[in-house]
């Protein structure tokens, strides 16, 4: 019960990694505000938390809209009395390669993925500082660390790591820590995965070959990392990026095979 008496807000908490994170934090005692642009998704997670014996409240809206963000924070403070943890989990991508991206499409991937996280942090930080501390966890991606396509989204995720560090340094002295979790492939209903699955029903099985642990990730793999970073036991962890990718970015086994073959 690392989160007894704590209140968390999870953006995009209606599905995938966000839902798993809301369920995990609630299972450890947190009251959770589930924000989502989809009312059905948000209410689904709130119902799942309640069914598991936890406390949660929905807040419907977009991370790109300041009034919606203010309403979510008001829900946290009004319903549960405070705000201790913010998980910035929403992102958007639709453009697989650089060629052909229109400026408005580039801006949209940045608006949702990076600006939205900044707006949420900007709104949450004064409350965290006023109550004596808090923790922010930004959900990054291996795309922010290496090339895997989707360049606008990837650049926005790299920017999110920089934002994480800025918050860590500027707000650390005020009691607020900020960290990032960078997932590898996680099997979710995200629109980009749904589209890839339609093209290739075996896509996750194929991608699993790239993962040293032999499988792609589950939303609960990421939720566990978030639950560690936002907890008080991580009090000395600030400004870091926890890569949760089954070893995907730990090395290049195909290249290593060639190197080793050459040596023999």
Ligand X SMILES: NC(=O)c1ccc[n+]([C@@H]2O[C@H](COP(=O)([O-])OP(=O)(O)OC[C@H]3O[C@@H](n4cnc5c(N)ncnc54)[C@H](O)[C@@H]3O)[C@@H](O)[C@H]2O)c1
Catalytic residues: 153, 157
To ligand X, the closest distance from the beta carbon of 104 in angstroms equals: 16
- At closest approach, how far in Å is the CB of 174 from ligand X? 26
Q: Determine, following the binding rule CB under 6 A, whether residue 14 of this chain makes contact with ligand X.
A: yes
Of the candidates 75, 154, 185, 238, which one interacts with ligand X according to CB under 6 A? 185
- Interface with ligand X, residue 18, by CB under 6 A: yes
54 vs 184 by CB, closer to ligand X: 184
What residues contact residue 104 under an 8 Å CB cut-off, 6+ apart?
A: none
Q: Which two tokens stand for residue 238?
A: 């600030």
Tell me if 180 contacts ligand X by CB under 6 A: no
Q: Is 186 in the site for ligand X (CB under 6 A)?
A: yes
Nearest Cα to 141, choosing from 88, 99, 95, 214? 88
Restricted to residues 150-179, the positions that interact with ligand X (CB under 6 A) are: none
Q: Indicate whether 63 belongs to the interface with ligand X (CB under 6 A).
A: yes
**Stretch of residues binding ligand X (CB under 6 A), selected from 9-17, 25-33, 196-204, 246-254:** 9-17
Q: Which of residues 85-144 bind ligand X (CB under 6 A)?
A: 89-91, 112, 139, 141
Question: What does residue 180 show for φ and ψ, rounded to 5 degrees?
Answer: -125, 145
Nearer to ligand X, 74 or 129 (CB): 74
CB of 178 to ligand X, least distance (A): 15
**Smaller CB distance to ligand X: residue 202 or 263?**
202
Judged by the rule CB under 6 A, the positions of this chain that interact with ligand X are 11-12, 14-18, 35-38, 41, 62-64, 89-91, 112, 139, 141, 183, 185-186, 188-190
């Amino acid at each position: 019960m690392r989160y007894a008496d704590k209140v968390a807000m999870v953006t995009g908490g209606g599905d995938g990694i966000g839902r798993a994170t809301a369920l995990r934090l609630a299972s450890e005692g947190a009251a959770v505000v589930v924000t989502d642009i989809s009312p059905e998704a948000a209410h689904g997670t709130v119902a799942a938390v309640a069914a598991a014996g936890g406390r949660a409240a929905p807040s419907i809206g977009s991370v790109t809209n300041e009034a919606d963000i203010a309403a979510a924070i008001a829900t946290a403070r009004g319903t549960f009395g405070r705000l201790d943890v913010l998980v910035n989990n929403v992102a958007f991508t639709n453009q697989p390669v650089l060629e052909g991206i229109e400026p408005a499409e580039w801006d949209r991937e940045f608006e949702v993925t990076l600006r939205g996280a900044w707006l949420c942090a900007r709104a949450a930080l004064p409350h965290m500082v006023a109550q004596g501390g808090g923790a922010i966890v930004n959900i990054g991606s291996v795309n922010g660390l290496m090339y895997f396509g989707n360049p606008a989204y990837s650049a926005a995720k790299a920017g999110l790591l920089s934002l994480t560090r800025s918050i860590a340094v500027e707000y650390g002295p005020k009691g607020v820590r900020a960290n990032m979790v960078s997932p590898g492939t996680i099997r979710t209903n995200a629109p980009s995965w749904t589209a890839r699955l339609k093209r290739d029903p075996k896509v996750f099985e194929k991608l699993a070959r790239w993962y040293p642990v032999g499988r792609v990730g589950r939303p609960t793999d990421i939720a566990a990392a978030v639950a560690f970073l936002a907890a008080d036991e991580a009090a000395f962890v600030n400004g870091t990026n926890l890569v949760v990718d089954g070893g995907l970015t730990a090395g290049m086994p195909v290249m290593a095979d060639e190197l080793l073959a050459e040596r023999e």
